[in-house]
Structure 1
Amino acid sequence: MNTAEITKKEKVISAAIELVVAKGFNKVSTAGISKIAGVATGTMFHHFNSKDDIIITAYKTVKRSFIAQTTSCQNENNVKEDLQSMWNNLIEWSLNHQDQFRYMQQFINSPYYSKEIMSQDDTWTSLLDWWKAAIKSGQIKDIPVEFLIKIFSTVLYSTIDFLIYHPDKKGEYLKYSFLMCWDMVGVAR
């Protein structure tokens, strides 16, 4: 694939994210995506089979970028420090990419999000392995990993939502929110 094709595909994904965040999934059309992207509808359908394909691909693209913020922090020797680095990186990324963060949130709470979509995507594999190793090391509570990740994600997403509307409180609430999360998932030493 040449650079021009990649650029057009990325424009379509970017336009889809922008429109979905502004209007919601149901009010976004392929014609609207094509117009905002500045890409002919035929060209768009060269890269994607349908609106659903665009929406799912956009989610996977955003999720990959989001999860990439955790990869440099995965070292099971000091789980609390690693988790705090992940926490800070994920919050920074989300504050700098608010439309992408909002898109991910909308997708997770939509009919598009399903076990089938999750099973097709191995983006979370290394992060899931990190959580399992952290449990095994005794530094994270030994409860089902899916539940731990849900707790972590819920507090993380709430913190991001709060900081989007209160950016002046970032320094103070980054620390407090992480400590609350750690109290829920970490093992006291």
Structure 2
Amino acid sequence: MTPKIPAGIPQTNYRLVRRLSAKLLTLFGWKIIGNFPAEKKFILAVAPHTSNWDFIVSVLVMLSLNLKVTFMGKKSIFVWPLRWFLEKIGGVPVDRKHPQGVVGQMVDVFNNSQSMILALSPEGTRSKTKQWKTGFIIIAKQANVPIIPISLDFRKKEVEIHRPYIVQDDIQQALMEIKRQFVDVCAKNPHLV
């Protein structure tokens, strides 16, 4: 079953790519469960991230749902001739040395957008890590947007869209509550979780 996409969510209109991506997901045995909230701006926290396959499955899901997703990239890669392409597919250049930092830059992007989906990996790496980054939670709080946890379960071959999470004051509490959504999820490489 394909999730319903509420009006207002940023979308593309690539019908052929959408159909091809949906067929590939079906061919590989993947299904998408859950639904998106009727929000125009939010952050997709996609986890667990232990393999390049996570990116491939995520892109197929994004394309099969016609979602127009934004992602962050180092400013240094946004140069000619790649800049136009990266921005066209949703890339936003961020300068790690900027006075506002990455968080401040992304809050500005959210505040200057009518609608926006920012997709990221909370771990910030494919390698084994004990602690997730908190930047995505701080961005959500400062930009006043919900976080939608998205789990990639390689055992069940399910991409689950979880309920939106609204960040209150306690960043560490928010991190613990969001991480709970992923407790029983089987990563591609479980030993890296």
Give the alignment's TM-score, normalised by structure 2. Answer: 0.27
User: Which protein is richer in helix relative to its size?
Assistant: 1
Q: Which has the higher contact order (CA 8 A, sep 6+)?
A: 2
User: Which protein is richer in strand relative to its size?
Assistant: 2
